[in-house]
């Protein structure tokens, strides 16, 4: 049991800092989105980002927040929480919705 705890602690310590680079995982503001027919995690992320690097980080955050695998096929009607970045002044950053 102690060995398992140590392994989990090491894994957390090794993987934990990776999330520090993803601002979406630190966001405290969320939109609730209802998935439309044919929509995927990547098409959803397209609506909230403008560059590929941010898109991949947002997909990672959506998966983490909603506890779904990255290769999920989304069902129409499913509701997901999407983290939204806010500007320093407290206003939401522009979105491509």
Q: How confident is the model at residue 3 (pLDDT cuts 50, 70, 90)?
A: confident
pTM of the model: 0.69
Give the separation between CA 80 and CA 66, rounded to whole angstroms: 6
Question: pLDDT tens digits, residue range 48-80?
Answer: 998 888 999 999 999 999 999 999 899 999 999
* Domains of the chain, earliest start first: 2-83 (3.10.350.10)
């Amino acid at each position: 049991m102690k060995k398992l705890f140590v392994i989990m602690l090491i894994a957390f310590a090794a993987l934990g800092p990776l999330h520090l680079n993803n601002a979406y995982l630190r966001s405290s503001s969320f939109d609730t989105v209802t998935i439309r027919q044919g929509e995927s995690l990547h098409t959803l992320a397209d609506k909230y980002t403008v560059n590929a690097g941010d898109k991949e980080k947002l997909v990672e955050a959506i998966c983490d927040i909603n506890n779904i695998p990255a290769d999920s096929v989304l069902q129409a009607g499913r509701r997901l929480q999407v983290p939204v970045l806010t500007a320093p002044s407290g206003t939401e950053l522009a979105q491509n919705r």
